[in-house]
Structure 1
């Protein structure tokens, strides 16, 4: 959607949709997110090695270069990366830590917390070394020195924040949300964006961890509406979709495996390494288009977004959007998206039966 500059004007005109809601927190930089992106950068993790915010990367390298061989960094390289810990697994760990040093798990580590790739033993070892690294590398000094950068970045993101209609998520998914939505500006994440969530007692915190991939002529983060807003919509969708796909794992597995076998290369090139991830992405992306339709965006914007998704390998997106429209028109029968999932199981079964022909047409 980058090429459609008119979306910026459109969004500015849609103030009635934007929410300054008590459940939508102000955008902020989260030091836990920054810390984990930094240590995985030091461990040469490709997805955390972006140079899209050069000034900040320079600050990181200047402060942390002497600690490239710290025990924590070697543990990440030699143990964690070999277990597939990267991308969203890193951000799941970040949001599961207490806000202040010395860090503690908000919820005790287990086989599946903070995320199943970690495992309790690796997560505990990592946390022990992370606390040591924080002290050894004087991380507090680094964060203090970059406070002005963080304030500017989150201030620049405010216009994107203000356009979001958070009430749509609960209305569309039929899932009451007890908690809050948090937007985190991930300055070290480059083009990486993540949508994790955490439940604490009876409160759920849904995150959109937004990367930073553009800067202004002063070298500071620049968040254009047409560039960042669709991604913000996308990331919050994940917290409403991922667990449903997981719940219907058995019913979706046959079609998922068949489709993924055909699309494996294009999906893995986008870091989608399983049919489960592919299905979650498919529903999330169709959900973004439903949001645009429900908020009366111009057809050219909707068509561009649709074409973008189909070109990324989600060649059934137009038909999936139609299924979500059918869901929206029959909410008396399907009060929640989860109640509509048996219909989506049938939909994906049909896609699997015809995936070879669909790909040929594309």
Structure 2
């Protein structure tokens, strides 16, 4: 049995990739960039002076994530979609005779006794397409530690590689093309009126390397928000989206307002997580603020103050983006909803963000305002 070490024990100021709880892409673009860059993220003004366009939003279905969720489904992983989708039935029909494959038993052991985790899908983004699944760049230490060391991580990858070969996974993936194209088309319809990348980067005042919106029919309701790159960025930013419902066995993503809020939430991780990690000492001075929230936070997977504080910040930003681009009442409702989920400090953070929005000549980037924003926690403590 493979034991799992909590990555946060190894790196205390590591923050979760997050959840609001093709080459690679079918019918959308030919290849994704996994090169690790060593250039710090630049303010948008620096790019504007060079007339560099905002990164394009790549939308599609990724075979690496589908391979992982196939193994998770066969391993009876409990944190997948709660909706009845025909895609799950198709997987069972195609792959059921491989239920005793080593990849499934390794994953069962990895996830046994563990709660929800973003580590597994994030790890897949460091690999090439199946069946090769070659490591494409340096693996972050927190991923190795989640797998109890590089040897166990590589053992799992080798088992996935063998599973993909034995089961002819790529044939199954190709046969699902009609579904994938339908999902991408419907999602494009839902977000066609909003330039998600431009609005996000305008708010943060910083440009990232690329943006990828990956639909996955078996992921949980909501999404994950990993970002790939060297410390300081710019990052390859991902939103991995699970269905928000199902109709006649077909995954649904929507309604549009809910979808936009999920994507803003997940994209925000790439901008806010690194800042929370950088300001770890300041945030941890106020860890007593976690105590009155601990019961509700623990129920949704945020068992540490750092993750709780980080999620407060992300949800406050998503609510402000909702306020500006969906409507003031929608923004206020988002704040009420988040407060009801246990994020009790979100109203104070949202009020402070209004100061940022009204004084962009003083604070051209979110990073420049961040110390002023997290000072809210000190004010609540006092």
* TM-score grouping bracket, smaller chain normalisation: 0.7 to 0.9
Q: Which residue of 1 aligns with 2:314?
A: 284
TM-score of the aligned structures, taking structure 1 as reference length: 0.82
Q: How many residues align?
A: 327
Alpha-carbon shift at residue 131 of structure 1 (Å) = 0.5
Maintained 8 Å contact 1:71/1:129 = yes
Alpha-carbon shift at residue 230 of structure 1 (Å) = 1.2
* In structure 2, distance between residues paired with 1:326 and 1:200: 31
Against the structure 1 CA distance between its residues 336 and 116, is the aligned structure 2 distance closer, same or farther, given a 3 Å change threshold?
A: farther
Q: Does 1:45 align with 2:77?
A: yes
Matches within 5 A, 1:7-86: 23-48=55-80, 50-78=81-109, 80-81=110-111, 84=114, 86=116
Q: Which residue of 2 aligns with 1:169?
A: 200
Say which SS state the counterpart of residue 212 (structure 2) adopts: strand
* In structure 1, distance between residues paired with 2:201 and 2:249: 39
Worse-matched range after superposition: 25-34 or 214-223: 214-223
Deviations 1:43-89 (A, max 9, x none): 222112x34142111112222222222111111222x2258585311
* In structure 2, distance between residues paired with 1:107 and 1:151: 29
Match of 2:358 among 329, 335, 338: 329
Alpha-carbon shift at residue 259 of structure 1 (Å) = 2.2
**Alignment gaps of 5+ in structure 2:** 1-52
Say which SS state the counterpart of residue 321 (structure 1) adopts: helix
Against the structure 1 CA distance between its residues 185 and 264, is the aligned structure 2 distance closer, same or farther, given a 3 Å change threshold?
A: same
Say which SS state the counterpart of residue 220 (structure 2) adopts: coil
Q: Which residue of 1 aligns with 2:124?
A: 94
Matches within 5 A, 1:150-229: 150-162=180-192, 163-177=194-208, 179-199=209-229, 204-217=235-248, 219-229=250-260
Maintained 8 Å contact 2:320/2:350 = yes
Maintained 8 Å contact 1:53/1:187 = no
Say which SS state the counterpart of residue 157 (structure 1) adopts: helix
Against the structure 1 CA distance between its residues 222 and 284, is the aligned structure 2 distance closer, same or farther, given a 3 Å change threshold?
A: closer
TM-score of the aligned structures, taking structure 2 as reference length: 0.78
Maintained 8 Å contact 1:292/1:302 = yes
Deviations 1:81-132 (A, max 9, x none): 25858531112112111124211112133523x4752342332121111101
Q: Does 1:311 align with 2:340?
A: yes
* Backbone CA RMSD of aligned residues: 2.4
Maintained 8 Å contact 1:103/1:127 = yes
Q: Which residue of 2 aligns with 1:272?
A: 302
More helix by share: 1
Against the structure 1 CA distance between its residues 146 and 51, is the aligned structure 2 distance closer, same or farther, given a 3 Å change threshold?
A: farther
Deviations 1:233-252 (A, max 9, x none): 11111111111111111111
Match of 1:127 among 154, 157, 165: 157
Say which SS state the counterpart of residue 158 (structure 2) adopts: helix
